Amino acid sequence: MKACMKTVHSASYEILRRHGLTTVFGNPGSNELPFLKDFPEDFRYILGLHEGAVVGMADGFA
């Protein structure tokens, strides 16, 4: 029987869920695309037009 191994991608979302973090603020570039691939339906992504604005939105949300 073949063991099913978690990927870093799926483990990352599990850790975020465990801590109650399901809202992600971002301004995606090419580095973030692998993280956003198959983005879970129970997460919410808030898009900002600039990194500075995204940090402010996340800070205000927190």
Answer yes or no: is 57 within a domain: yes
Q: What is the pLDDT of residue 3?
A: 64
Answer yes or no: is 20 within a domain: yes
Which range of residues forms the domain containing residue 34? 8-61
More confident residue, 35 or 3: 35
Q: Is the pTM of this model over 0.85?
A: no
Print the SS3 string covering 1-22. Answer: CCCCCCCHHHHHHHHHHHCCCC
Q: What are phi and psi of 47, to 5 degrees?
A: -90, 130
pLDDT digits (tens, 9 = 90+) for 15-45: 999 999 999 999 988 888 889 999 999 999 9
In one letter, which amino acid is 16?
A: L
pLDDT digits (tens, 9 = 90+) for 4-16: 778 999 999 999 9
Answer yes or no: is 3 within a domain: no
String of DSSP letters for 29-44: -TTTHHHHTT--TT-E
Helix (H, G, I), strand (E, B) or coil at 62: coil
Answer yes or no: is 2 within a domain: no
Answer yes or no: is 28 within a domain: yes
Answer yes or no: is 55 within a domain: yes
Helix (H, G, I), strand (E, B) or coil at 23: strand
Answer yes or no: is 41 within a domain: yes
Give the number of domains in the chain.
1
